[in-house]
Amino acid sequence: MNEAYGKPPEMLQIKQVASRTGLSYYYIRQLCLSEEIVFIRAGNKYLVNYDRFIDYLNGNDNKLNFHERIRAIPMQRGGEGFE
CA 49 to CA 12: how far, in whole Å? 7
Residues 6+ apart with CB under 8 A from 27: none
In this prediction, residue 83 carries a pLDDT of 46
Profile the chain (83 residues) by mean pLDDT over runs of 10 residues.
74 97 96 93 94 90 51 51 48
**3-class state of residue 40 by DSSP:** strand
pTM, whole model, 2 decimals?
A: 0.67
**Parallel/antiparallel/unpaired status of strands 11-13 and 45-49:** antiparallel
Main-chain dihedrals φ then ψ at residue 42, nearest 5 degrees? -125, 95
In this prediction, residue 53 carries a pLDDT of 94
Domain ranges of the chain: 3-62
